[in-house]
Amino acid sequence: MNDSSTSVELADRLRALVSRLSPGDRLPSSRELIKEYRVGPATVARAIAALAAEGVVVTRPGSGTYAAQRTRLDRELDGEADAADTDWQTVALTDRAVDTHLIADPLGPPPAGTITLDGGYVHRSLQPTRALSAALARAARRPDAWDRAPAGGLTALRTVFARIVGGSVTPDDVLVTAGGQSALSIAFRAIAGPGSPVLVESPTYPRALAAARAAGLRPVPVPLDADGLRPDMLADAFAMTGARLLYCQPTFQNPTGTVLTPERRRQILDVARASGAFVLEDDFARHLGHGRAVPRPLVADDRDGTVVHVTSLTKPAAPSLRIGTLVARGPVMERMRAVRLVDDFFVTRPLQEAALEVLSSPSWDRHVRSLGTALRERSAVLAAALTQELPGATLAGPPTGGLHLWVRLPPGVDDTVLTAAARQRGVAVSAGSRYFATEPPAAHLRIGFAATADHAELTEGARRLGAALAGLGTTAA
């Protein structure tokens, strides 16, 4: 190599040399490289620096330059890498499983053109997207937008949520969370210890079951009827299991749409108090009434700290407005604050500021009213179509709020088989078996009316579902 050789050329030569060495082997010294390749010290220094930046060599001042350990990627590119042996993790992770089979779609993502009757959020056309975009833009322009938020949430936002809940709830009783699912996870881990039973409605929300099981809890089902959770069976379940926690959805229950009657609301709280237990009230549908007055949340009439209340903005607004709250009094709130502090310190401030902007605007009340009207109309359209297309099926309701219809299938129909057949015909629905903590008493479907583009899609979705049912060879009961 003559004097005009560059550091790039030298780096190429040294790279080839390193490929023949074993990791840890020492390269020739700078003096030896200068002599062998007839280059200057600066050229050698630049070439070595380039190889070190690539991870090809490791330099040790006072010792020399050495071939680096080859990365797994390098070995794979050369066809030398063996498959990673991660079997040891099976032992290390024993008893740490997180069960997601109830919330993961076993059929995978639906193909393009599928009518979505299994969605849990409102269609984009029903979202207040313009108000959300404007609110986020205003929030981002604030001088303190990117400062650290208080661990419990912005005081102004907690004040708004306290007013929404009503009763004697104060801002100090409110903890802002990153959506309702995060709130459920915090509450389950804060209230009950691993291995403890937790009473749940049957059927109930699958993601709540998943969160409870991830916290190490054991869901115990308590039946529902047309008036909601049965207080007599709840008392028996508390007595038999010794549970200290009940998870329930008193208003527009998911998936059945039932509303707990005023008398049962009092009875449920009385039974829980007598059992020394908490009631985890999931009030996800607070803003999803179909034009009628929505009952007060349980926590609004609770003065003993029995109720831990959960709500969020994702259902009535948009999936990515991940803002929710926990409402509670007493030591349980301090425990939940500690859990969320350990989890993630605080909810991102711009999103809290945007939520505050949205909730404080007169347009929010207008949105809730128009959304309620749209949901009521959609519910009626879908119910009528299903009545026509699914002979032998029984619809619960009609619901006075929420996003879904609960349909009992004719005898002999397997809900999972029908769900798969419906997907093949271009319509996605939810198998009812996902909503039960134990064996379901009958086959059901949860069918949503909020995630489609319009009424025509609802009608066409019902037609496709009816064709799938007919294709199974089932006759009307």
Beta bridge partners of 175: 326
Per-residue pLDDT band at 73 (split at 50, 70, 90) = very low
| pLDDT tens track for 208-227 | 999 999 999 999 999 999 99
Q: Under a CB-based contact definition with an 8 Å cutoff, are residues 344 and 200 in contact?
A: no
Please state which architecture CATH assigns to domain 7-73: Orthogonal Bundle (1.10)
* Residue 71 pLDDT grade (very low, low, confident, very high; cuts 50, 70, 90): low
Phi (first) and psi of residue 407, to 5 degrees: -120, 125
Q: Is 329 helix (H, G, I), strand (E, B) or coil?
A: coil
Q: Are 125 and 453 in contact (CB under 8 A)?
A: yes
pLDDT > 60? residue 76: no
Closest listed residue to residue 359, CA positions, set 321, 408, 319, 400? 321
**Three-state secondary-structure class, residue 395:** strand
**What residues contact 194, with CB distance under 8 A and at least 6 apart?**
215, 216, 217
Q: What is the pLDDT of residues 104-146, one digit of tens each?
A: 666 677 788 899 999 889 999 999 999 999 999 999 888 888 8
**pLDDT given at position 258:** 96
Assigned token pair, 301: 């009439």
With helix as H, strand as E and coil as C, how does 110-162 read? Answer: CCCCCEECCCCCCCHHHCCHHHHHHHHHHHHCCCCCCCCCCCCCCHHHHHHHH
Letter for the amino acid at 234?
L
Residue from 219, 180, 214, 194 nearest 101 by CA: 214
Residues 327, 161: contact at Cβ < 8 Å? Answer: yes
Q: Note the pLDDT of residue 1.
A: 47
Which residue pairs from 234-238 have beta carbons closer than 8 angstroms and sit at least 24 positions apart in sequence?
Answer: 234/199, 234/268, 234/271, 235/271, 235/274, 235/275, 237/199, 238/199, 238/271, 238/272, 238/275, 238/277
**pLDDT for 332-390, tens place per residue?**
999 999 998 988 888 999 999 999 999 999 999 999 999 999 999 999 999 999 999 99
The domains of the chain are located at: 7-73, 142-360
pTM of the predicted protein model: 0.79
Integer Cα distance of 205 and 103 in angstroms: 9
Right CATH for 142-360 from 3.40.50.970, 3.30.70.2740, 3.40.718.10, 3.40.640.10: 3.40.640.10
Q: Is the pLDDT confidence value at 58 over 90? A: no
For 387-402, write each residue's pLDDT tens digit: 999 999 999 878 999 9
pLDDT at 464 over 80: yes
Query: Does the structure show a pLDDT above 80 at 32?
Result: yes
Whether 72 shows a pLDDT value over 80: the answer reads no
CB burial of residue 394 (10 Å; 0-12, 13-18, 19+):
middle
| Average pLDDT of the residues in 308-328 | 95
Which pLDDT value is given to residue 475? 41
Q: Which two tokens stand for residue 409?
A: 């299938």
Give the DSSP H/E element, type plus range, for residue 212: helix 206-214
Indicate the residue type of 81. Answer: A
